[in-house]
Structure 1
Amino acid sequence: MRAFYNAVLRAEAILAGTLLLLMVGLIFAGGVARMMHSPINWTIDFATCFFAWACFLCADIAWRKDALMSIDVIKARLPEGLRRLLQIGNYLIIMAFLGVGVYAGLWLAWTSRARSFQGIPGISYSWVTMSLPVGAFLLLITTIVKLRAELRNDPIGVAASASEQG
């Protein structure tokens, strides 16, 4: 199971990087084409779609590596037992929020399935809206791993699997 999880982490990182590069490339190509008086209107639309997906994937990568911004002024002054309890409570709140994100995102993707993406025939707007439930689900898995590590009193937690990723 751990090998599968690490493969998913590697694929997530590769996909996030690829989407960011495609986004930049599309915006650049659209700008160059516009300067040459031959605008390619769909480049910004697809770059926006790639940005939505990359945001959620990169958020999961940052969350797994504890690279998200946090303010721990109060937490740092608490005794260890209360600090752990607060951390567990935070994880539970985050999990509830992400669970709602998965549910609402799936509902949004389902209801927008018939809508075309930026008027492009044959491409459903659900391709963009699915970034929410997929990203929230990946973040939920990472949060569950972090909660499990906290409950086991494992100070390394997710960082071990993140360091294996490279």
Structure 2
Amino acid sequence: MTFWNIFDRAERLAALLALVAVVLSVLVAGIGRSLGWPVAAAPQYAQLSLIWACMLGADIAARQGQHIRVGAIFDMLPRPVRAALTALSLALILPFLGFVAWHGWFLATNNWERELGASGLSYGLVTLALPVGAVLLILSFTRRLCAEGLAGLFDHLANEDAPSDGPSEHAAKEEIL
């Protein structure tokens, strides 16, 4: 098992645990309120868990090429134009994620002393999800770029231009929707 397989499994587990924590926090808050014993920290735990679930989930989706895309015009373009647009997109996305990571780090460190409501936790844990998520997205896009090349990064038709025996996996997924 390679480092990236272990890394990917750990990230999926962390995202799943964060999602379970959101559900449990909201459930505890709801049950506590209905019984007349409100849990003051439950909304803060839900907020913390939700932001981490969102950032980890966004990275997992990016790594698998599953982000929402509108390809009506993009898909009609010739392959070299699609590759150029992919390069332009990547040239905009990576510096933006670097910017978010850089400034998000300062946001997290500046909020470290701030308390997250009644939970007693640091608000820096909430804001730390932003730079960590941005760095994870940079890693995922870079990994996909190395594995699939520029043509396959955002272009689900890149592999369909080559002769094949049947419909692609992406086409099958889109037909289901």
TM-score (normalizing by structure 1): 0.85
Q: Which has the higher contact order (CA 8 A, sep 6+)?
A: 1
> Counterpart of 1:73 in 2: which secondary structure?
coil
Contact 1:27 1:44 in 2 (8 A): yes
Alignment of 1:16-165 (within 5 A): 16-121=15-120, 123-148=121-146, 149-151=148-150
- Supply the distance in 2 between the matched residues of 1:30 and 1:114 (Cα, whole angstroms): 25
Structure 2: stretches of 5+ with no match in the other structure: 160-177
Query: Which amino acid in structure 2 is aligned with residue 96 of structure 1?
Result: P
- Percent of aligned positions with the same letter in both sequences? 31
- Supply the distance in 2 between the matched residues of 1:29 and 1:119 (Cα, whole angstroms): 15
Structure 1: stretches of 5+ with no match in the other structure: 157-166
The one-character-per-residue Cα deviations of 1:92-140 (angstroms, maximum 9, x if unpaired) are 211111111100110101111121111544x221111100001111111
TM-score (normalizing by structure 2): 0.80
Name the structure 2 match of 1:163.
Answer: none
- Supply the distance in 2 between the matched residues of 1:136 and 1:118 (Cα, whole angstroms): 25
Contact 2:44 2:119 in 1 (8 A): no
Q: Which structure has the larger Rg?
A: 2
Q: Over aligned residues, Cα RMSD in angstroms?
A: 2.1
